[in-house]
Structure 1
Amino acid sequence: MTEPSRPQELPARLLTDPEMIKACRVRDIANVFRLVKVKAGVYPSMIGKRCGLTPSRVGEVMARRRQLQHMDVIERISDGLRIPGHMLGLARRPWETPQALEVTERKAVQEQGQTPQQPATLPGPDVDSILAMATCTSLSPATLEAFRSSIEDYWRRDDQHGGEALRPAIVGQLRYVVGLLKENRPLPIQNGLYSIAAELARLTGWTYFDARQYNQARAYFTQALQLAKEIDDRQFMANVLACMSLQATYQDKPADALAFVSAAQDQARSAPGTTPRVLAMLAMRGAFAHATLGSKDSTHRALGDAYSHFEQIQAGDADPSWVAYFGESKLIVDTGIAHARLGEAATAEPLITDALRREDRTNQRGRAFHSFWLARTQLDQGKLEQACQTATQALEPASAVASERVSGHLTEFYGELAPYRDEPIALAFEAQLRAHLPLVSGSTRP
């Protein structure tokens, strides 16, 4: 019996092409298919055959009449076209041989008589599978704590550097934990694994949201909801819905934002033991949704609810770890941002200024993000020089963290300087903006 033929590898020059790398990173499958056709000679009928798609569906994707977002389809594309998993935000695929590209590219340029230096290698996937079968997979509460500790570390590094470089590791760990769920385990361990998988899915969704890759973010947030629902963790479901509400405000879908946060509050109220800190955070997300809708009275009521819940927090509360970030400084700065969203700049400015003084210096994204909002409130009040100085101070932390959301806000601020473009202080900010964020082109995209 002959073995089934192995799908042909894509040329190394295509896999290292910057356009291909970018298309894979943002999962622009239409462009991926186009590049595979143009630069590798793999036509739509063969793309469909290799990826388990009909030719008509491939044509619709290439014409941008259809999007491919489901993870199982992305995996089939990776496997069928032999696109390394990390390029599409996936774990290393079973067929991958890490040194193959390096050998292909370097063999032809080795000087005669020179002994090639062997690259460090990893075990092949078959070895990984054998070792996995031979390894004891019994888990203990200590193992679960190790998972939770790694998640806390991911969040800390996400605040400091952004999630772009972390995402492959997070996705890999998510897939590993989901794999562990397939085995029968004692109920406390199984429930702990579901909780960890849900948090890893939410974290992955957050990294995509921060990169403004909203479809991918929503897919992972939805997975997090499904995992939390398996163990009826309604507090965590409320947390995920709150994330989806925040994303909807960025997508200019205020009605969706309000619907998500209302559902989040319903989940939290129905959950036993929901803490005041969780309710305060959700009320603040509600304030954001109402402010995006331009509803002043509803925003102020939601802010009042947030403060009312926050005042009920006690030292012994059993807060989930994921809400620990919502302290007094966060309450104050979010209050300022809600007022700023309403156009109440004079009320917002001192609140955001106070919160920035308290900001943890290691939270690079937070410092940049909140400085943007302070600069915006100052500009809304006609304080051009102060606004430009504040925005300039945001550039250093913004350049230290890989966050499309933050760099987009600073570009947005630059767009709002249009009436003052010829002012020396505005020209100085533009020069600093380009120096710190060289990919910024001066566009005014929101």
Structure 2
Amino acid sequence: MGGSGGGGTSADKRPNDQLGSWFVRSGWSKGELARQVNRRARQMGAHHISTDTSRVRRWLDGEQPREPIPRILSELFSERFGCVVAIEDLGLRTAHQSPSVSGVDLPWTGPQTVELLSDFSRSDLMLARRGFLGTSLALAAGPALVEPLQRWLVPAPASGLPGGPAVPAQAGPRRSARLSGPELDLLESTTVMFRQWDAQCGGGLRRKAVVGQLHEVTDLLQEPHPSAVSQRLFKIAAELAELAGWMSYDIGLQPTAQKYFVLALHAAKEAGDKPLGSYILSNMGRQMIHLGRPDDALELIHLAQYGSRDCSTARTQAMLYAMEARAYANMSQPNKCHRAVRMAEDAFGDASPKDGDPDWIRFFSEAELNGENAHSYRDLAYVAGRSPTYASLAEPVMRKAVELFREDPEHLRSYALNLIGMATVHLLKQEPEHSADQAGKALDIARKVRSERVNTRLRKTVDSAARDFSGVAEVVRLTEQLATHLPDTPEVAQAV
């Protein structure tokens, strides 16, 4: 029984109507679902899992499968529908997990933040297989996500950090560590380098190196330091954890990404860096938009804006307004979307090199601003039933973003994503030949970067073109090229 992922054997089982509903809407057969479960299990190293159609039928009839099957099913259905499908939504139960590996309602204290960062990064390094950590976690959404994060705004106790020694209570006394200014500078410059690699090559290339560096920094944080040194180390840890989350998000490890974002926010609070915390919250909001939960995204973005309104630079404010517009677009609120777009443009116009922007926000260039605003208009077009009006609004702004990114070799992934965005705009305008041209250029880049986000968006765009314009030669040719050069076997190479 254990090898097939079986579970409860209650004699009075009832059909699992919740799982059955998701299963019917997915369009999968029992055999296809079984194959996907087995494939995901192999990717995460759970080679004992061997599911078949009879096992799937028993789940539908009410049998409760053992871990990690509920997590695998949650991930598969979430990916299928583009929104969070929690284990409970499937009518399944999950084993109890300790706070160190589950949930976002964590203690806001320096020593426990260090301990959790250390434990989670160590587990990630030890179990660095695609999906392993992801299937040990549950994505949080709604109040379970937003309410604990509101404590980010609560002032830290007067006796706490930022700046104090960060020694876990059980660690006992340690010798005093001495870190020089140049050593801290080197740690900070290494984080900048990792960020550049991610923008150029995608999240799949150096994720494991970032997690390893994060783990090393948490080791340093377990030593007593002067207040100023501890504060800088927490800032470095926050930036590395945010980057590990971003890279995990980029390669499709959504629960892992969310966990890193949460831990990054805790570290940013210990560092006393509110603008960095607002940036982390904005990326959590972006993830919620990706997962089909714009209401949650908007709450996270508003929390970011409120928490950093007096201390963030104009560039950071522009980024937050642009993300607010994306959330409103996906909530089908065009007036609020337009207002947020204008505020993003106005704030960006106030940005100046003299502002002293931190490195993590320097990516938000004129190209990025245009790309975000164009995607807001594009999203409005989709939620408004493929509105040609909003598609026409998106086209010139998206074109400008594409032109600017074309001249920016340091942000290759963003160039690909905006080419795909341009392709979707052309589809909305019933221009399949132009869409195929832009998607073809994105395909050339997708072969060079390791980004499941790029691959997934490209596949969805080409599938949409093939469905609506199957007789167009350029679309047929692109579909064949995609099957050859980017086959639909989305795997992350050992989550490196």
Range into which the TM-score falls when normalised by the shorter chain: 0.7 to 0.9
> In structure 2, do the counterparts of structure 1 residues 192 and 415 end up closer, same or farther at CA, with 3 Å as the change threshold?
same
Do the aligned residues in 2 keep the contact of 1:248 with 1:257 (CA within 8 Å)?
yes
Aligned partner of 1:351 in structure 2 is 397
Give the Å deviation of 1:361: 2.7
> Which TM-score applies when normalising by structure 2?
0.65
Q: CA RMSD in A?
A: 3.2
Judge which range, 196-205 or 150-159, deviates more. Answer: 150-159
Give the Å deviation of 1:72: 4.8
Distance in 2 (CA, whole Å) between partners of 1:191 and 1:367 is: 35
Aligned partner of 1:414 in structure 2 is 462
Is 1:175 the equivalent of 2:221?
no
> In structure 2, do the counterparts of structure 1 residues 200 and 68 end up closer, same or farther at CA, with 3 Å as the change threshold?
farther
> Which TM-score applies when normalising by structure 1?
0.72
Aligned partner of 1:23 in structure 2 is 44
Give the Å deviation of 1:435: 2.2
Choose the corresponding residue for 1:424, options 473, 482, 490.
Answer: 473
User: Residue type matched to 2:44 in 1?
Assistant: A
User: Residue type matched to 1:346 in 2?
Assistant: S
1:58-108 per-residue CA deviation (whole Å, 9 max, x = no partner) reads 94544553278879559999999xx95444799xxxxxxxxxxxxxxxxxx
Distance in 2 (CA, whole Å) between partners of 1:349 and 1:150 is: 38
Choose the corresponding residue for 2:237, options 194, 197, 203.
Answer: 197
Is 1:145 the equivalent of 2:185?
yes
> Which structure's relative contact order is higher, taking Cα pairs within 8 Å and 6+ residues apart?
2
> In structure 2, do the counterparts of structure 1 residues 239 and 79 end up closer, same or farther at CA, with 3 Å as the change threshold?
closer
Aligned partner of 1:370 in structure 2 is 418
Distance in 1 (CA, whole Å) between partners of 2:468 and 2:409 is: 33
Aligned partner of 2:314 in structure 1 is 276
Distance in 1 (CA, whole Å) between partners of 2:42 and 2:49 is: 15
Aligned partner of 1:42 in structure 2 is none
Distance in 1 (CA, whole Å) between partners of 2:177 and 2:131 is: 26
User: Residue type matched to 1:144 in 2?
Assistant: L
Identity among equivalent positions (%) equals 29
Is 1:325 the equivalent of 2:363?
yes
Distance in 1 (CA, whole Å) between partners of 2:97 and 2:202 is: 23
Aligned partner of 2:170 in structure 1 is none
Aligned partner of 2:261 in structure 1 is 221
Distance in 1 (CA, whole Å) between partners of 2:223 and 2:119 is: 24
Higher radius of gyration, 1 or 2: 1
> In structure 2, do the counterparts of structure 1 residues 197 and 63 end up closer, same or farther at CA, with 3 Å as the change threshold?
closer
Distance in 2 (CA, whole Å) between partners of 1:168 and 1:72 is: 20
Do the aligned residues in 1 keep the contact of 2:177 with 2:223 (CA within 8 Å)?
no
Distance in 1 (CA, whole Å) between partners of 2:262 and 2:122 is: 24
Distance in 1 (CA, whole Å) between partners of 2:188 and 2:373 is: 30
Distance in 2 (CA, whole Å) between partners of 1:215 and 1:63 is: 14
Do the aligned residues in 1 keep the contact of 2:422 with 2:435 (CA within 8 Å)?
yes
Distance in 2 (CA, whole Å) between partners of 1:362 and 1:190 is: 32
Distance in 2 (CA, whole Å) between partners of 1:433 and 1:87 is: 26
Choose the corresponding residue for 1:436, options 485, 489, 496.
Answer: 485
Give the Å deviation of 1:362: 4.0
Q: How does 1:24-423 map to 2 (within 5 A)?
A: 24=45, 32=46, 35-36=47-48, 59-62=66-69, 64=71, 65-66=93-94, 72=100, 84-87=126-129, 137-269=177-309, 271-272=310-311, 274-343=312-381, 344-359=390-405, 360-417=408-465, 418-423=467-472
Distance in 2 (CA, whole Å) between partners of 1:226 and 1:424 is: 52
Distance in 1 (CA, whole Å) between partners of 2:409 and 2:297 is: 30
Distance in 1 (CA, whole Å) between partners of 2:179 and 2:270 is: 20
Do the aligned residues in 2 keep the contact of 1:69 with 1:215 (CA within 8 Å)?
no
Do the aligned residues in 2 keep the contact of 1:70 with 1:219 (CA within 8 Å)?
no
What are structure 1's unaligned runs of at least 5 residues? 1-16, 25-31, 39-56, 91-134, 442-446
Do the aligned residues in 1 keep the contact of 2:432 with 2:472 (CA within 8 Å)?
no
User: Residue type matched to 2:94 in 1?
Assistant: R
User: Residue type matched to 1:208 in 2?
Assistant: S
Give the Å deviation of 1:238: 0.5
Distance in 2 (CA, whole Å) between partners of 1:248 and 1:428 is: 34
Distance in 2 (CA, whole Å) between partners of 1:224 and 1:411 is: 31
User: Residue type matched to 1:373 in 2?
Assistant: G
- SS where residue 263 of structure 2 aligns? helix
State the number of aligned residues: 353
1:248-278 per-residue CA deviation (whole Å, 9 max, x = no partner) reads 0010001101111010100111x43x21111
Distance in 2 (CA, whole Å) between partners of 1:293 and 1:331 is: 20
Do the aligned residues in 2 keep the contact of 1:434 with 1:440 (CA within 8 Å)?
no
Give the Å deviation of 1:412: 0.9
User: Residue type matched to 1:66 in 2?
Assistant: T
- SS where residue 215 of structure 1 aligns? helix
Aligned partner of 1:128 in structure 2 is none
Give the Å deviation of 1:241: 0.5
1:124-164 per-residue CA deviation (whole Å, 9 max, x = no partner) reads xxxxxxxxxxx994212211221121111111111222222
Distance in 2 (CA, whole Å) between partners of 1:70 and 1:168 is: 24
User: Residue type matched to 1:239 in 2?
Assistant: Y
Do the aligned residues in 1 keep the contact of 2:121 with 2:215 (CA within 8 Å)?
no
Distance in 1 (CA, whole Å) between partners of 2:414 and 2:321 is: 20
